[in-house]
Amino acid sequence: MFILCKRLFPALFLFLWFTVSHAQGGYELWLNYRKTENPETLEHYRTHLLSVVMDENSETVDAIREELSTGLGLMLDSTVSFISEIPEKNSLVIRKTENLPSGLRNTLKKDIATIENDGFLIRASGNTVIITARKDVGLLYGTFRLLHHLQQGLPLRNLRILDIPKTDIRVLNHWDNLDRTVERGYAGASIWKWHRLPGYIDPRYKDYARANASVGINGTVLTNVNASALVLTPAYIEKVAALAEVFRPYGIKVYLTARFSAPMEIGGLQTADPLDPGVRQWWRDKVDEIYKTIPDFGGFLVKANSEGQPGPQNYGRSHVDGANMMAEAMAPHGGIVMWRAFVYSEHDTTDRAKQAYNEFVPLDGKFMENVLVQVKNGAIDFQPREPFHPMFGAMPHTPLMMEFQMTQEYLGFSTHLVFLPKLYEEVLQSDTYRHGKGSLVARVVDGTLDNKKISGMAGVANIGSDINWTGHPFAQANWYGFGRLAWDPYLSASQIADEWLRLTFTNDNNFIKPVKNIMLESHETVVDYMTPLGLHHIMDTGHHYGPGPWVGNLSRPEWNPVYYHKADTAGIGFDRTPSGSNATAQYAGEVAATFNNVKTCPEKFLLWFHHLPWDYKLQSGNTLWDGLGIRYQEGVNRVREAQKTWAVMEPYVNKQQFEEVRMLLGIQHEEAQWWRDACMLYFQTFSKQPFPEEMETPLHSLEYYRSLKFPYAPGISPQWH
Ligand code: GCW
């Protein structure tokens, strides 16, 4: 006995340490199943949910069983029993619609008729709670939703949730390299341990799949869009297959990025010309080979002729030629091609904001049916704030996917607390006016505006090997929120923040209310202290961390911040009206008219569309110069308020998370001041005016800020490919 104890003790200790440190560190994400606090609610749940009727057989059903054992087990602090007969009294019934007993099917007939695709119904009826769906994966989504309902302590009585995803492809884009660096990744190394695959399956892979499935994400692109052709070689396909196997029960398909020059790099061909028969055959064979190993492979994501990546234009061909070549190879297998529209050329001197539209809109209607064009939310590049991309609504015959960024490339990395669903919501709720008022970007994305056959949303992942997955504890909310909005682009950011806080931390309103407020203000806050009033792309070079509005020496003009703010002694801002680059002409007439007129242009986009004198009068009555300084200061002030709010939140979260957020807010505060001071000192060299009195005196000189260097800032692409 003693010997056994001696042997077991260290193992037990290790296990406990691991579990506790993981729990403290936020590893569980929003699947943080805590015992139900309210005794009445606990009793109510126990009565209805401890016998689970599940008698179908599939890997997905096994995953459901496992999730319920853990989730219900922890929340109800009891053991769940799985049975195959529906008992007289209380139970949770999980069955596909076709397998429900006829009585139940009849009662739920109306709701059942409306369940489509991956959707589900959760209904409390008599003494049973039913989760039903057309497909196993719908049952899985329903199960997670019920678990989330219980995590929030909500009642089961009269429960009726009928939810059908509004988009088809809900996919993460990992910008992960095969050497485990992550381009624009700020949460550690890539979670894909390529070197150990396929033999070693890290437990994280399954937890990753659970987290994704719990919000309805159904696909993942494993590799960087700045792609390595190596991932298409047999050794890597085998590794990818091992990941696909872990994800399959959770309804998640794998996709890969396809390097356009792969036929030359790994296929030994002399060309990658998409009209060359040998090249076309190479892609067909490659795709067949992938499907042989991964029968449910999702397809390719391609960055072509963008920032030095190879593409069809290298051979005088178009994006259509390139995309259709791959789509043709995919079609027999049901695969798709997501072709990115993030293009701008060093040889094109037109405003960068106009180039993607100019290249792609004339191609509308020419892509094959299994091609989606993937468009970033704005026309420049994941800035703290951008007006919606003018391509949305402008290609009625081509499915356009939304590409949002969860990783915070231009948004303070995973050091700053920024709740991005606020940004996503602003974009999705923008009105393109392409079919009159109400033609929201959300309707382009879900395909309803022009009756698209396929629709989707992509999110550039913020996930890495950090214990808490995302670096900043609150960055988890961006992953969660992306998934929720990919499923339903009409959800409100406020609802998402509320859900995420409750699932992740506690249901105590003394915590929820103030912290939700921090989250909902955080986007405006970061915009104010980085790029107020429509300023954009004034981050420092390469790493994009911190201010660099003075940078003007880079080889490509559109890589320089000075290109974007155009500050001079007369004023500041980029004139994109007809008197300038006329980028506004790419929007529908109503939208263009609003942006063109300085009086109707929303002030949040003022300097995006207009070059204005320093003494231009803002709506507040302040001059532009004073208004700018006041905005920068307000951004700083709101970080201070967030710090104060967080300082009294210790009772509601665990020690480690409390400390992490406290320290990170401290850095965010310092850096908000850095942004304010560096930008205002620099712009002052043009405005030649004193700072507004609302603004605090800068802490250092402009020379000091200009001298700061960050040679090892994370997230920069390695040079090996
Ligand atoms: O924003 C830019 C990033 C690049 C990225 C590129 C893209 C993957 O700075 O790192 O490359 O966008 O979206 O392709």
pLDDT band at 217 (very low <50, low <70, confident <90, very high): very high
Least confident of 147-156, 270-279, 340-349, 442-451: 340-349
CA atoms within 13 Å, Cβ hemisphere of 52: 27
C-alpha distances (whole Å) from 291 to each of 169, 236, 244 are 19, 14, 12
**CA 204 to centroid of ligand 1, rounded, Å:** 26
Within 10 Å of residue 301's Cβ, how many Cβ atoms?
A: 28
Mutate to test the pocket of ligand 1, among 409, 558, 719 (most ligand atoms within 8 A of CB): 409
Three-class DSSP category at 255? strand
Within 10 Å of residue 283's Cβ, how many Cβ atoms?
A: 23
**Residue 249 structure tokens:** 């029960």
0.85 cut: is pTM over it? yes
**How far apart (Å, rounded) are the C-alpha atoms in residues 529 and 706?**
17
**pLDDT at residue 23 tops 80:** no
**CA 415 to centroid of ligand 1, rounded, Å:** 19
Catalytic pick among 183, 265, 409, 499: 409
**pLDDT at residue 117 tops 70:** yes
**How far apart (Å, rounded) are the C-alpha atoms in residues 307 and 319?**
15
pLDDT for 87 equals 84
pLDDT for 20 equals 52
Mutate to test the pocket of ligand 1, among 221, 223, 226, 338 (most ligand atoms within 8 A of CB): 226
**Known active-site residue 307:** yes
pLDDT band at 345 (very low <50, low <70, confident <90, very high): confident
pLDDT for 321 equals 98
Relative to the CA of 175, which ligand 1 atom is closest?
8
Amino acid of residue 262 = A
| Rg of the chain on CA atoms, in Å | 26
pLDDT for 719 equals 52
**Ligand 1 atom 13 nearest Cα:** 342
**CA 307 to centroid of ligand 1, rounded, Å:** 8
**How far apart (Å, rounded) are the C-alpha atoms in residues 578 and 587?**
12
Mean pLDDT (whole number) for 601-610: 98
Relative to the CA of 184, which ligand 1 atom is closest?
10
Q: Does the C-beta of 382 come closer than 6 Å to ligand 1? A: yes
10 Å CB burial of residue 622 (0-12, 13-18, 19+) is middle
Q: Burial letters for 133-168: b for 16+ Cβ neighbours within 10 Å, e otherwise?
A: bbbbbbbbbbbbbbbbbbbebeebeebeebbbbbbb
Q: Does the C-beta of 381 come closer than 6 Å to ligand 1? A: yes
**Known active-site residue 381:** yes
**pLDDT at residue 718 tops 90:** no
Share of the chain above pLDDT 90, in %: 91
- pLDDT tens for each residue of 381-403: 999 999 999 999 999 999 999 99
**pLDDT at residue 721 tops 70:** no
pLDDT band at 56 (very low <50, low <70, confident <90, very high): confident
**pLDDT at residue 75 tops 70:** yes
C-alpha distances (whole Å) from 719 to each of 186, 226, 343, 685 are 18, 11, 21, 37
* DSSP annotation string for 307-338: TT---GGGGT--HHHHHHHHHHHHGGGT-EEE
Q: Are strands 160-163 and 81-83 parallel, antiparallel or unpaired?
A: unpaired
**How far apart (Å, rounded) are the C-alpha atoms in residues 516 and 215?**
20
pLDDT band at 662 (very low <50, low <70, confident <90, very high): very high
Q: Which residue has the higher pLDDT, 6 or 50?
A: 50
**Known active-site residue 540:** no
How wide is the angle at C-alpha 376 spanned by C-alphas 374 and 380, nearest 5°? 140
**Ligand 1 atom 3 nearest Cα:** 184
pLDDT band at 21 (very low <50, low <70, confident <90, very high): low
**CA 18 to centroid of ligand 1, rounded, Å:** 36
Q: Does the C-beta of 184 come closer than 6 Å to ligand 1? A: yes
pLDDT for 486 equals 99
**Residue 57 structure tokens:** 């057989």
Catalytic pick among 111, 207, 276, 307: 307
- pLDDT tens for each residue of 481-521: 999 999 999 999 999 999 999 999 999 999 999 999 999 99
**CA 468 to centroid of ligand 1, rounded, Å:** 24
Amino acid of residue 3 = I
C-alpha distances (whole Å) from 552 to each of 388, 686, 688 are 26, 15, 20
- pLDDT tens for each residue of 77-113: 999 999 988 888 889 999 999 999 999 999 999 999 9
Mean pLDDT (whole number) for 540-563: 92
Q: Does the C-beta of 342 come closer than 6 Å to ligand 1? A: yes
Which region, left, alpha or beta, applies to residue 308 given φ > 0 means left and ψ of -120 to 50 means alpha? left
pLDDT for 15 equals 46
C-alpha distances (whole Å) from 381 to each of 81, 114, 187, 377, 405 are 51, 39, 21, 8, 9
Mean pLDDT (whole number) for 126-139: 95
C-alpha distances (whole Å) from 648 to each of 307, 644, 651, 658 are 46, 7, 8, 10
Three-class DSSP category at 128? strand
**Is the preceding omega at residue 198 within 30 degrees of 0, hence cis?**
yes
Q: Does the C-beta of 404 come closer than 6 Å to ligand 1? A: no
Residue with tokens 């000189």: 701
pLDDT band at 14 (very low <50, low <70, confident <90, very high): very low
- pLDDT tens for each residue of 681-699: 999 999 999 999 999 999 9
